[in-house]
Amino acid sequence: MQQNSSNTILSSPSISSKESSHPPVVLIAGGSGLIGTALSQYLLGLGAQVRILSRSAPTKAVSGSNPTYFSWDPRSAVMDPAALQGVTHVVNLAGSGIADKAWTPARRKDLLLSRTQSVDCLAAALQRASEQGATPVQRIVTASAIGYYANGEAVATEQSPKGSGFLAELTSEWEKHSAPLGTWAPLTTLRIGLVLSARGGLLRPLLPVTQLGLGACIGSGRQWMSWIHEKDMVRLIVHALFDTEWPSGVYNAVAPLPRRHLGFMRSLAKALHRPLWMALPGWPLRWIMGPRSTLILEGVLASSQKVQDQGFVYDFPDLDVALNDLVGKSGL
């Protein structure tokens, strides 16, 4: 899907389906995160109106045209009732960062509640809007993660069973709470892989270390990394929101060509014109990070076939091309 087709997808629901010249109004929960900020700017560039749910006023304006902020507190199930007025599409990306802190019992609870309370708050707000006779939203996209699946060599399609462990239980519960959102509009759930961005996420710690020539293969190096470039991640959300023929359901948000960890690190080193000569065993990481080390030492081999079957064309299907693009933006 090229840029011009994205514009077609954006304008179609607001003009042809609603017989209106007004631009779509997209409400984003989790709009200040890595994906949310990129999505906001992309939508604004296409002419959409963007609203972001925030627990507090933004500390700085988003570059370019600014979205409008509305207050909410999912822990108290409170949302500014004006946030949904006139909204045509909803995106839920809310949730505490999975890799940010050690998985203590308190942190595990926060990771769960930051997700389930957010979707519960959205569902309650949509219910109230419906009872008050508001125009229904046209489509909803909500986040999940490929952590739903078992790690290992089996290809994970959207029909694959739930895996075991904390991540699988977390994503499963997240999706159970998200399911009622489909009561008010066609719902797409995106099980998101490793999002590659020069602004943060997985590459934030890897880029400077590898630039110094200290990049390393960690563990066996055979663990799968099902990744996606942030541009394709954003475009996929837009595709699911505005393609009127897009079927609701669960989709893996990953690129078509996953890599094993060793191959990933070799490609990153190559993009930075640095050697990759270090190999580190997994046990020190397990000792330091505990169960959270599974994020690095294990991986899911997720399939993108269902997304491709819907006509989505990746701008960055190949890891080497994706990393070259992102390294160029990193300033390294």
Q: Could you give the 3-state DSSP secondary structure of residue 141?
A: strand
Distance CA 68, CA 49 (A): 8
Q: Indicate the pLDDT class of residue 173, thresholds 50, 70 and 90.
A: very high
Distance CA 293, CA 240 (A): 32
Split into its structural domains, the chain has a count of 1
Please enumerate in sequence order all residues whose Cβ is within 8 A of that of 146, keeping only pairs 6 or more positions apart, or say none. Answer: 156, 191, 192, 193, 226, 252, 254, 300, 302
Convert the pLDDT of each residue in 60-90 to its tens digit.
444 445 899 999 999 999 999 999 999 999 9
| Mean pLDDT computed over 135-161 | 97
Convert the pLDDT of each residue in 51-67 to its tens digit.
999 887 554 444 445 89
Q: Which CATH number characterizes residue 68's domain?
A: 3.40.50.720
Rg of the chain, C-alpha, whole Å: 20
State both tokens at 46: 């296409």
The dihedral of CA 48, 200, 314, 170: what is its sign? Answer: negative
Q: Indicate the pLDDT class of residue 15, thresholds 50, 70 and 90.
A: very low
Q: What is the total residue count of the chain?
A: 332
pLDDT score for 278:
86
Residue-range definition of the domain harbouring residue 57: 3-330
